[in-house]
Structure 1
Amino acid sequence: MKIKYLLLKMQLIGCLLITITFSSCKKDKTTAVVNATPVTIGLYEYASDVDKRLLVPITKIGMQTVNYGTIFDTGSPGMTMDATGILPASMITSAGITVTGDSTVVNGITVTSKTSTISFGDATGTTTEYGNLAYANVTVGNSLGSLELKRVPFFLYYKIKDSKGTTYPAHSADVFGVGTGTSSTNTNISSPLKSYSYGTGLTSGFKLATLSSTSFLGTPTYVSNLLTVGLTSADLSSAGFIMHPLLPKYSYNPYIEGTLTYNNKTIDAVFLFDTGTPSVSTIEDKLAVAAVSLPTNTTVTLKTNQGFTYTYVTSNTGNLTQVANPNTTQDYRSIFSLDFFIKNEYLTNYASRIIGLKNN
């Protein structure tokens, strides 16, 4: 996730927990295999001016009932949560989280003594979270549908600040990172959806339906049936997705090679389609003289090495796009913001390390 933070402390109201379980039946003292079915839940859309957010409601961590909206992020692997309201206040100090020995268990949450930081951004500016590796069962969703994730490894932070020294309020940037790969901070941390019990007949992964352009409002708006957890054979073969095997040279992160065309020139590119970026897409062009925003009504076309093509036109209210030089940002990825997901479906197959893209 390479973002300007849209600071949030979302209190999602009226959550009734529904744990999704699958059962098997017995016949003649043998266990019959029952194929599991995917679970589809809604997410919340939110906007502040041109900045947009897609939020996952989290209603339980360990045995602690909570009520937070976390940023649904295809651009990073792993969940990060502020410790405030999750751990007792006595455990949280300005210097860190107090842990006795190798780990401490509080309200069903295992907090380890392994400390680190997680940073988002590039060489022009970063935002950093400071905290500890933790483990807990996590319930996501609301009364209209939810799922329980078992023993999720996540980053529990006590402080977040940017490279200018600004410290942000608690829960300003809780992240639900569903990207492939593992966290650069700790290889134990990866997508929390990998901690879901998929059952027989499903492939580990998810589909994200196209977002509702009319639901990005000034208050979080629930949109049903956006996220499907668990992939079927039809999803992987005949649902119209163009599949992109991920590459070991990028550590199997969700980076896809292709070309970009804008201002009558075509350049090679490495794409990241990132729901964690709220508004401004970034084209990394090594011939760019300085960072510049593309004018309104500029046409941009991207084409992946597997033949997926998408064209959009910039405006002053959406598809905002800047051009930067990777020698300045120290980031070679061209990153496309949440606006991309209003027109395109997105699939991640964790088992085979594949990203699927589909025009809609």
Structure 2
Amino acid sequence: MSNNYYMQKIKVAFWALIMMAMATACKKGGSDSPVPVVPPKPLATLGLFQLSGGENKRLFIPISQIGTKAVQYFGIFDTGSSGLTMDAHGLIPDEMITANGLLVTGDSVVVNGITVTNKTATMAYGDKTSSTKEFGNLAYATITIGNSAGTATTKRIAFFMYYKVVDGDGKEISGSQHSFDVFGVGPSTGFTFAAIVSPLNGFTMPANVASGFKLAKLDNTKFTAAGAFVSGLLTIGLVPDDLNNAGFVMHPLTLGSAGGYSPNIPATVTYGNTTTSAQILFDTGNPAVSVIENSKETTALGRLPVGTVVTITTNRGFVYTYTTSSTGKLTQIQNPNISGDFRTIMSLDFFTDNEFLTDYTGHRIGLKNN
């Protein structure tokens, strides 16, 4: 009888151990369970508008709010400059805007959540052969970009509020308001005001996401006279895969004595039988004609003939080859002693063949054939 009792105790203990083991095996989220790794995501992915008119192409970003003022404006998306410029009309009362400047009492005034300072300057675009100047004031506000398909709002950032635009001859350009708004996303700082930088560098990023943006290859068929909204072109915020595994050739940028980090990339350019060294600016703000600067050219200035093969090779091994035609890839040769600009500038056509990335955190530009 004692042996049976002893065996019964063993059976009970055995089944108790089995039940404990099963409970442990079925337990969720225990200390030994692997914690799933959630990869970081970019801040936002937005669409842009593509527009064409004759030879010119333009890339626009919708702007839906400045400060507390709801708006429907479109800034020229410009990798060749840094900082946002906005026409004062529609943002502040008309009585504050005069032919000679913005009326600001004291150091600054706040209107519609926009701080307009009394600090004035001129923003210049182009070179001495073709230039545009905007006159205005330093201002501050939060900026919301995007439309009903998706938006993102910056922190309070500096921008340039202009009241007048003149051409290279000093003649005031009249026309529709906000037609010269520029959304400059380059990595440098403003030469007029150091506080003015790319609006895309004005966001608070999620953890493990670098400040910067990625521009997908543009769809050449979407450049129409009516304009087309193309979703998913602009990614704000760069995840580790963008910077390490996406196939971009990364180019470290040089810090200058003025203007911060230069977007110009050292390269060689070959056209026909000519090869020249270059500092290349990849510029979505250039609407039509790429410009190759060559100080040794004296007689062959002007547009390259149709069918000319052009090859760009950067100092980091990125290679891009294209052929000029009568309707696209237009390219001209200039002597910097004449143009006053040493930069070789690739136009918006470059972005219909390639992807582009700017890493504000790491001070790099990435280029990728596509």
The alpha-carbon deviation at position 265 of structure 1 amounts to 1.6
The alpha-carbon deviation at position 167 of structure 1 amounts to 2.0
- Give SS of 2:222's match: coil
Which amino acid is the alignment partner of residue 189 of structure 1? I
| 1:36–1:198 Cα contact (<8 Å) kept | no
Which amino acid is the alignment partner of residue 155 of structure 1? F
- Give SS of 2:357's match: strand
Do structure 1's residue 349 and structure 2's residue 359 form an aligned pair?
Answer: yes
The alpha-carbon deviation at position 242 of structure 1 amounts to 0.3
- Give SS of 1:150's match: coil
The alpha-carbon deviation at position 35 of structure 1 amounts to 7.2
The match for 1:214 is: 221
The alpha-carbon deviation at position 150 of structure 1 amounts to 1.4
The match for 1:255 is: 264
- Give SS of 2:156's match: strand
Over 3 Å counting, the alpha-carbon distance change for 1:262 and 1:196 in structure 2 is same
Choose from 245, 268, 283 the match for 1:274: 283
Give, in whole Å, the separation in 2 of the partners of 1:282 and 1:242.
Answer: 23
Structure with greater helix percent: 2
Give, in whole Å, the separation in 1 of the partners of 2:229 and 2:343.
Answer: 31
Which amino acid is the alignment partner of residue 58 of structure 1? I
Give, in whole Å, the separation in 2 of the partners of 1:352 and 1:232.
Answer: 12
The match for 1:5 is: none
The match for 2:153 is: 148
| 2:51–2:59 Cα contact (<8 Å) kept | yes
The match for 1:158 is: 163
Give, in whole Å, the separation in 2 of the partners of 1:37 and 1:258.
Answer: 33
The alpha-carbon deviation at position 165 of structure 1 amounts to 3.1
The alpha-carbon deviation at position 315 of structure 1 amounts to 0.7
Which amino acid is the alignment partner of residue 219 of structure 1? A
**% same residue:** 52
- Stretches of structure 2 that go unaligned for 5 or more consecutive residues are 1-36
Give, in whole Å, the separation in 2 of the partners of 1:229 and 1:159.
Answer: 31
Do structure 1's residue 138 and structure 2's residue 120 form an aligned pair?
Answer: no
Bigger Rg over Cα: 2
TM-score (norm 1): 0.89
TM-score (norm 2): 0.87
Give, in whole Å, the separation in 2 of the partners of 1:163 and 1:230.
Answer: 37
Give, in whole Å, the separation in 1 of the partners of 2:54 and 2:279.
Answer: 29
The alpha-carbon deviation at position 287 of structure 1 amounts to 1.1
Do structure 1's residue 294 and structure 2's residue 299 form an aligned pair?
Answer: no
The match for 1:129 is: 134
- Stretches of structure 1 that go unaligned for 5 or more consecutive residues are 1-32
The match for 2:31 is: none
| 2:128–2:168 Cα contact (<8 Å) kept | no
Which amino acid is the alignment partner of residue 98 of structure 1? L
Q: Count how many residue pairs are aligned between Structure 1 and Structure 2.
A: 328
Which amino acid is the alignment partner of residue 37 of structure 1? K
Give, in whole Å, the separation in 2 of the partners of 1:119 and 1:186.
Answer: 13
Do structure 1's residue 204 and structure 2's residue 211 form an aligned pair?
Answer: yes
Which amino acid is the alignment partner of residue 272 of structure 1? L
The match for 1:12 is: none
Give, in whole Å, the separation in 2 of the partners of 1:35 and 1:143.
Answer: 27
The match for 2:4 is: none
| 1:45–1:220 Cα contact (<8 Å) kept | yes
The alpha-carbon deviation at position 194 of structure 1 amounts to 1.1
Q: Deviations over 1:37-74 (max 9, x none)?
A: 21100000000011000000001001111101110000
Choose from 81, 84, 95 the match for 2:86: 81
Do structure 1's residue 99 and structure 2's residue 109 form an aligned pair?
Answer: no
Choose from 328, 336, 351 the match for 1:326: 336
The match for 1:243 is: 250
Do structure 1's residue 65 and structure 2's residue 70 form an aligned pair?
Answer: yes
The match for 1:118 is: 123
Give, in whole Å, the separation in 2 of the partners of 1:324 and 1:102.
Answer: 44
Give, in whole Å, the separation in 2 of the partners of 1:294 and 1:348.
Answer: 30
Q: CA RMSD in A?
A: 1.4
The alpha-carbon deviation at position 166 of structure 1 amounts to 3.0
